[in-house]
């Protein structure tokens, strides 16, 4: 019986870690840092440093276009879209909300946050008519959200207070996630918590997590939810890239409680996590400055599938292709 069980467990382990990289191809080279990606019209769209915004055609990588949204050297770490337009917000004050028409790529500033502490970490569209973006708080520690509804941007009124030193990381535009019922925001720093917004009642709840936290460089950097119940968070400490304790967690109750996964048994600091579409949360890819990693068992165990460095954000294209971007490049990863 022991031998039979050993064979069974070995087979399960081999299945769980069967994911392998077929090839990685650079599809854009440029002097740019990219931390936000969107897919639309068979193109991968990006925003980045030096006010740069553009696309690479996924059907023909040579078909590319890049424009500058401003004559100033603004740094963009956010990007989102509705049916007709893209939206991007620069970090640092004043925070300017750019709207870019998909047809002619003409842009305009549709909202401005002039507060000195304005620093928008992520921008997320729940649907074509509703979007939220999360900024570092002002001195009063009041949760700062801007909301897009009825075609207009404005501030989301609330009375939620963040802890001293609690903020978020503009690492990959993915510390916000949503389903039809909820939207979640992951904070980090001296406190790393989950904020959950009921999209129907607009009630905000806050849940503690066992994630690494306590220092300004620690906490959750990225989250993704498959449905109203299952979600995953990754992160760590960007000043300690190899540190791999309490830097991955999953929830099965909509973010109310979190379970640490693979602590001490993963490749370290991660900036972006994405659940494979159609996998119901079973298959997940994550990227950090020093690696690309994969889980085939709902985030419980992880395998480093690439030593590619300098990549910060990823996006699934289909069942076996993932686009990643970061320092000076965009790459296409194909899985076997």
DSSP 174-236: -SEEE-SSEEEEE-EES--EEEEEETTT--EEEEE--SS-SSTTEEEEEEEESSSS-EEEEEE
Going by the DSSP 8-state scheme, the letter that residue 141 receives in this structure is -
pTM of the model: 0.93
d(C-alpha 312, C-alpha 36), whole Å: 9
In the numeric block, the tokens 């460095």 are attached to 309
Residues contacting 50, CB < 8 A, separation 6+: 31, 32, 68, 73, 74, 75
Structure tokens that stand for 20 in this block: 């392998």
Going by the DSSP 8-state scheme, the letter that residue 281 receives in this structure is T
Structure tokens that stand for 205 in this block: 């709840």
d(C-alpha 107, C-alpha 69), whole Å: 7
Structure tokens that stand for 200 in this block: 């129907």
Going by the DSSP 8-state scheme, the letter that residue 276 receives in this structure is P
pLDDT at position 19 is 78
d(C-alpha 123, C-alpha 174), whole Å: 8
Task: Return the domain boundaries, the chain.
Answer: 21-335
Would you write out the chain's pLDDT as a tens digit for each of its 336 residues? 434 333 333 334 434 455 799 999 999 999 999 999 999 999 999 999 999 999 999 999 999 999 999 999 999 999 999 999 999 999 999 999 999 999 999 999 999 999 999 999 999 999 999 999 999 999 899 999 999 998 999 999 999 999 999 999 999 999 999 999 999 999 999 999 999 999 999 999 999 999 999 999 999 999 999 999 999 999 999 999 999 999 999 999 999 999 999 999 999 999 999 999 999 999 999 999 999 999 999 999 999 999 999 999 999 999 999 999 999 999 999 999
Evaluate whether 169 touches 121 at the Cβ level (below 8 Å): yes
| Beta-strand pair 259-260/231-237 | unpaired
d(C-alpha 275, C-alpha 177), whole Å: 11
Evaluate whether 186 touches 222 at the Cβ level (below 8 Å): yes
What is the total residue count of the chain? Answer: 336
């Amino acid at each position: 019986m022991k031998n039979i069980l050993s064979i069974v467990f070995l087979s399960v382990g081999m299945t769980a870690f069967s994911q392998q990289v077929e090839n990685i191809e650079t599809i854009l080279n440029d002097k740019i840092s990219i931390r936000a990606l969107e897919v639309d019209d068979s193109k991968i769209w990006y925003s980045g440093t030096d006010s740069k915004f553009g696309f690479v055609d996924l059907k023909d990588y040579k078909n590319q276009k890049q424009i500058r949204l401003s004559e100033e050297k603004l740094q963009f770490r956010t990007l989102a879209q509705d049916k007709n337009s893209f939206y991007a917000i620069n970090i640092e004050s004043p925070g300017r909300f750019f709207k870019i028409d998909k047809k002619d790529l003409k842009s305009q500033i549709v909202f401005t946050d002039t507060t000195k502490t304005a620093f928008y970490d992520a921008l997320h569209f729940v649907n074509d008519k509703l979007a939220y973006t999360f900024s570092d708080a002002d001195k009063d520690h009041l949760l700062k959200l801007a909301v897009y509804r009825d075609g207009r941007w404005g501030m989301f009124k609330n009375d939620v207070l963040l802890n001293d030193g609690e903020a978020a990381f503009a690492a990959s535009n993915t510390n916000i996630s949503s389903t039809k019922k909820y939207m979640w925001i992951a904070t980090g720093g001296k406190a790393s918590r989950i904020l959950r917004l009921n999209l129907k009642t607009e009630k905000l709840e806050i849940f503690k997590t066992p994630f690494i936290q306590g220092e300004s460089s620690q906490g959750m950097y990225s989250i993704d939810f498959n449905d109203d119940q299952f979600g995953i968070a990754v992160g760590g400490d960007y000043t300690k890239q190899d540190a791999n304790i309490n830097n991955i967690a999953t929830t099965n109750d909509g973010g109310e409680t979190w379970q640490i996964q693979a602590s001490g048994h993963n490749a370290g600091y991660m900036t972006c996590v994405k659940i494979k579409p159609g996998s119901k949360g079973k298959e997940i890819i994550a990227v950090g400055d020093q690696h690309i990693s994969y889980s085939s068992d709902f985030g419980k165990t992880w395998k480093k599938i690439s030593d590619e460095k300098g990549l910060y954000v990823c996006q699934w294209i289909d069942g076996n292709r993932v686009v990643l971007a970061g320092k000076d490049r965009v790459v296409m990863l194909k899985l076997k």
